Amino acid sequence: MEKEEHLEELKRRVEDCRNCPLGRSRKYIVFGEGDSESQVMFVGEAPGYYEDQIGKPFVGQAGKLLDNLLAEIGLSRQSVYIANILKCRPPGNRDPLPEEINACKPHLMKQIDIIQPSIICSLGRFALISLYKGLPSSGREKFSSGGRDGKSISITAAHGKLIQTEKYNIFPLYHPAAALHQPTLLQSIKEDFAKLKELLSKPMPEIRPDLKTKIKPPEKTDTEEQMKLF
Ligand code: SF4
């Protein structure tokens, strides 16, 4: 089976998913789109109003900014893969709840396992935190916000720095929606995209081959199993 077929099969399962309450309020799932063979995958937070209406990621003003940022470094929406942590829209565009992230994360992990990108660009704090679990504890302090447990990661500290987890290369970026409202973040995200261009021009740090996931057909999800995985 090719990657596209695996993704189609996974998408059909996500379309039937009701593992959290967002499955009842969505209009469409926003599964993700782009080149399944791309070495670069962008992971945002959750669909907003317009994404929910048509089932595509990043279609509003934030999407236009993302398109422009990609174009500035010679990429396009068609040449990368774009997905979100949540596949369904939280009502009123509120922040994702931890239990929603827990319920939906297995879908994203399977998507990543199928695409196997060399680098995952997290867009915003929620995407970074969700992918952060694989970061070795010895590397966490560098990106810590100094929270009570010393383990919470800060987008302010981590953006624009390559993080190698046990399985992934993660390049944290500010969310384009945040950059739309704050000129300083807009400048930062532009600079980080320039760094991304430079990173992509060199060989990416190798992920240990034994930790790379072999592509296998998506399995039927189970809420109890999902909660254990986060
Ligand atoms: S777990 Fe994900 S795909 Fe399933 S209903 Fe919740 S947000 Fe939608």
Q: Alpha-carbon Rg of the chain, whole angstroms?
A: 17
Inter-axis angle of helices 183-200 and 61-72, nearest 10: 40
**Residue 104 alpha carbon to ligand 1 centre in Å:** 5
Burial class of residue 136 in the structure, from the number of CB atoms within 10 Å of its CB (0-12 exposed, 13-18 middle, 19+ buried): exposed
> Checking DSSP bridges between strand 163-164 and strand 81-84, what pairing results, if any?
unpaired
Tokens read off for 221: 């999800």
Q: What is the pLDDT of residue 222?
A: 47
Q: What's the longest Cα–Cα distance across the chain?
A: 46
* CA dist., res. 155 & res. 79, Å (int): 26
Burial class of residue 225 in the structure, from the number of CB atoms within 10 Å of its CB (0-12 exposed, 13-18 middle, 19+ buried): exposed
**Residue 81 alpha carbon to ligand 1 centre in Å:** 20
* CA dist., res. 172 & res. 128, Å (int): 6
* Beta bridge pairs of residue 114: none
Q: Mean pLDDT lowest for which of 51-65, 87-101, 137-151, 153-167?
A: 137-151
Q: What is the pLDDT of residues 158-217, one digit of tens each?
A: 999 999 877 889 999 999 999 999 999 999 999 999 999 999 998 877 765 555 545 454
Q: What is the pLDDT of residue 55?
A: 98
Q: What is the pLDDT of residue 132?
A: 77
Other C-beta atoms closer than 10 Å to the C-beta of 69 total 20
Q: Which residue has the tokens 């409202």?
A: 181
User: Is any atom of ligand 1 closer than 6 Å to the C-beta of 10?
Assistant: no
Q: What is the pLDDT of residue 165?
A: 79
- Helical H segments across 84-205, by residue range: 98-115, 125-131, 155-158, 176-181, 183-200
Between residues 80 and 139, which one has the greater pLDDT?
A: 80
Q: Which of 29, 51, 110 to mutate to test the pocket of ligand 1 (most atoms within 8 A of CB)?
A: 29
Q: What percent of the chain has pLDDT over 90?
A: 73
Burial class of residue 60 in the structure, from the number of CB atoms within 10 Å of its CB (0-12 exposed, 13-18 middle, 19+ buried): middle
User: Is any atom of ligand 1 closer than 6 Å to the C-beta of 86?
Assistant: yes
Cβ atoms 179, 170 nearer than 8 A: no
Q: Does position 106 have pLDDT exceeding 90, yes or no?
A: yes
At 67, the amino acid letter reads: D
Q: What is the pLDDT of residue 229?
A: 37
Q: What is the pLDDT of residue 5?
A: 96
Domains and CATH numbers, the chain: 3-135+155-202+216-229 (3.40.470.10)
The H or E element spanning position 156 is helix 155-158
First vs last C-alpha separation in the chain? 28
Q: Mean pLDDT lowest for which of 41-50, 148-157, 175-184?
A: 148-157
Q: What is the pLDDT of residue 203?
A: 83
